[in-house]
Amino acid sequence: MKFSKAQFHCRVYKFPELRFEDQRLTSFSGTVVLHALFKNMDIAGKLQRCFIHRQKGSVVGFHSVALLMILHLMLGYRRLRDIDRYREDPLIRRALGLRRLPHVCTVSRMLCRADAHSVANLQEFNRTLVLQRLEHQGLARVTLDVDGLVISSGVTPRGRPSGITIKRRGPEATTHCSAP
């Protein structure tokens, strides 16, 4: 079923009031704070400017998908399919300014259609945000601690199944299985 833009997007004028009482909250009630952060920093408007060259009548814009991916990562999810876990949450939809979340397939297609210019604009946007924040902090020195990742080539030695490590100690050999 095809939806119109009006069925997806909505305006949010007021933040919900936070009261710490016994009440029914959604699992993602902390997104109220993220919504305020996005609004204060005008993240949606800045993302829209990153994709200004891609505004071609799509129901869900590239900026909405990018904001969804930012929120998705901030919630701790890594797989695109995990969008289904919070699809019906009203506070997440409110933080994104959407009446309904796009389907995982729609998000995937939108991400595949991002061009090099879009990626360059997003990198510039990210760089600008980080540098503005660092300038605002007025730090004399910044230390970046970058941990190295071990990336497997996916190739296992012949005759040895994946996840098995043989350690030889003395005359006998012990086998350790590691969980995937």
Cβ atoms 120, 58 nearer than 8 A: no
User: Could you tell me the pTM of the whole model?
Assistant: 0.64
Q: Stretch 90-111: mean pLDDT, rounded? A: 89
Decide if pLDDT at 158 tops 60.
Answer: no
Q: What confidence tens digit (pLDDT) does each residue in 29-45 have? A: 788 888 888 888 899 88
Please report, for the chain, the start and end positions of each structural domain, with discontinuous segments joined by +: 5-16+23-137
More confident residue, 28 or 130: 130
The predicted structure's pLDDT at residue 180: 47
Q: pLDDT-derived band of residue 133, with 50, 70 and 90 as boundaries? A: confident
Measure Cα distances from 109 to 68, 87, 172 in Å. 14, 18, 54
pLDDT digits (tens, 9 = 90+) for 117-129: 999 999 999 999 9
* CA 60 to centroid of chain Cα atoms: 17
Let me know the angle formed at the C-alpha of 146 by 141 and 147, rounded to the nearest 5 degrees: 150
